[in-house]
Amino acid sequence: MTSLELVRSFLENRLGVQPERVEPASSLIELGVDSMMMLELMFEFETHLGIRLPTDLETPRTVGEMLDMMDRLAQA
C-alpha cells in the first residue's frame, strides 16, 4: 500500500471522505482532519511503516506535505 493509498483509506474509513477528493494539494483541515484525527493518522503510519515517529515533527497542512513526511521517514 502506498502512502497516498493509506491516507485515502484512513480518511474514507474515519470520515467518509471519497478517495478521489484526497489529492496532494488537498488541505487536511478542509478534509475534516482535526488535531485528534492527525494523531490517529500518525499512529496509523507508525503501525504501517513499523517505525517510531519523532515527537518534534511539524504538523502537515496538506496531503502532499503528509505524504512527503511519510516517505522521508520510511526511507530513513
Q: Which residues have CB under 8 Å from 29's CB, separation 6+? A: 61
Q: Which residue has the cell 512527503?
A: 68
Q: Which residue has the cell 489529492?
A: 23
Residue range 9-50, pLDDT digits in tens? 999 999 999 999 999 999 999 999 999 999 898 888 888 888
Residue range 59-76, pLDDT digits in tens? 899 999 999 988 888 887
Q: Name the pTM for this structure.
A: 0.87
Angstrom distance (rounded) from CA 69 to CA 15: 22
Q: How many CB atoms lie within 10 A of CB 50?
A: 8
For the 3-75 domain, the top CATH level (class) is: mainly alpha
Cell numbers for 46: 507508525
User: Which residues in 8-20 are b (16+ Cβ under 10 Å) and which e?
Assistant: bebbeeeeebeee
